[in-house]
Amino acid sequence: MISVDPSGYMRFAFMYGKERPTRRLGKRVAIIGAGPSGLAAAGYLTGKGYDVTVYERLPLPGGIMVFGIPESRIPRERVLRGCRELQETFGVEIKTSCKVTADGEGILGDDLAKETVDLQRVVDEFDATIIATGTWKSRSLPAEGSGLKGIHSALEYLFRSKAHELGLAPKREMIKLGRSVAVVGSGLVAVDAAQEAAGEGRRINLISVENGLDAPSGSYEIDKLKRRGVTHTERTVIKRVLGKTKVEALEVISVNADVKNGVVLRMEQIPGTERVIEDVDSIIVGIGQIPTPPFGKDYREIKTLRWGGIEVNDRYVSPKSRVFATGDVTTGISKVGRAYQTGLKTACWVDRHLRGTA
């Protein structure tokens, strides 16, 4: 689904060749969030003749593609070059370091924003607004002792390391891991964190409810980690984190679980299988992300669902007209290709809505 130019960069306006169509409609669309969903929507709409402004709170566009996914999977220069094409060839304005919010609630990475703009101002100023803000909160470890020092979210671990690599944050802000690390989860977030943490002589133990075949990241990714020396403790959950003030060891228990398409449908602990994994000094938790809309629970007529995602209908319009939402903030964490695809679909509906043909 994602269009890659033969020279290797990501194209967000791939349907319009290499030049911006000259026809302009005199209508303005704001997009909040420059991840794959927001950028795909920007590419589609600029070519249709809309003037598009993308608000991004981080100093660079690209979302998780630039600030989470390891370079070995998506080289950041491919994404950034695609963004430059959007700006320089297609006239999209990308306002970086600029957070749009209704309530000022903070999320991971907000310390890199330099400016805050009120959501209502954006909604009033533009003919349509698309919210594409992703899933930047992480689920915490559901185990006794989860308040001990040395427990980190996988996204924060990856984000801090990327921010330093990109020259946006000093080394002291990176998360420091010990020699023996437990990574919890087997989705892409956990796997990416395990891959980043492996090396430098660390022992990594990936602990997950799923076995290698059921892992949401796919058995290929788990096998790749194993080839790097990572241990996979499958069909297991952490019951208690042991330690005085910081992580020292884990009490784990085996589980029976029904898993379908990477989703755990049922799980039960197996009594008598409790055991202790000694000498663990850090835990990275990658067991799920929570949507982060630019407002608290609800905003005017826009509602969030129980799990945090913005409620949209099949046209990606939230109940409030002229406000649309797209990408992982509506679906929960998915994949780059799916976010890109929903961004395009949403942009089609915005276009039809603004032309009065929806």
Ligand X SMILES: Cc1cc2nc3c(=O)[nH]c(=O)nc-3n(C[C@H](O)[C@H](O)[C@H](O)COP(=O)(O)OP(=O)(O)OC[C@H]3O[C@@H](n4cnc5c(N)ncnc54)[C@H](O)[C@@H]3O)c2cc1C
Subset of residues 272 to 301 that bind ligand X, contact rule: CB under 6 A? 289, 292, 294
Write each residue from 106 to 145 as x if it is in contact with ligand X (CB under 6 A), else as -, in one continuous string: ---x----------------------xxx-x---------
**3-state secondary structure at position 290:** strand
Give the long-range contacts of residues 174-178, CB within 8 A, separation 24 or more: 177/202, 177/281, 177/282, 177/284, 178/150, 178/202, 178/281, 178/282
Which residue of 29, 215, 250, 339 would you call a contact of ligand X, by CB under 6 A? 339
Of the candidates 118, 194, 210, 193, the one whose C-alpha atom is nearest the C-alpha of residue 155 is 193
| Residue 316 engages ligand X in binding (rule: CB under 6 A) | no
Which residue of 141, 177, 189, 206 would you call a contact of ligand X, by CB under 6 A? 189
Nearer to ligand X, 217 or 236 (CB): 217
Which residue of 334, 347, 350, 354 would you call a contact of ligand X, by CB under 6 A? 334
Residue type at 59?
Answer: P
| Residue 24 engages ligand X in binding (rule: CB under 6 A) | no
Nearer to ligand X, 83 or 143 (CB): 83
| Residue 194 engages ligand X in binding (rule: CB under 6 A) | no
Total residues belonging to the chain: 358
- 194 phi, psi to nearest 5 deg: -65, -40
Provide the CA 64 distance to its chain's centre, in angstroms: 5
| Residue 192 engages ligand X in binding (rule: CB under 6 A) | yes
Nearer to ligand X, 243 or 308 (CB): 308
**Strands 51-55 and 28-32, how do they pair?**
parallel
Which residue of 12, 33, 123, 288 would you call a contact of ligand X, by CB under 6 A? 33
Segment near ligand X (CB under 6 A); pick from 99-107, 161-169, 232-240, 256-264: 99-107
Tokens 């499958």 map to which residue? 234
Residue nearest to ligand X (CB): 35
CA–CA gap between residue 174 and residue 158 (Å, rounded): 9
Whether the CB-CB separation of 331 and 309 falls below 8 Å is answered with yes
Contact residues for ligand X (CB under 6 A)? 32-38, 55-58, 63-65, 68-69, 73, 99-101, 109, 132-134, 136, 155, 158, 188-189, 192, 289, 292, 294, 327-328, 333-337, 339
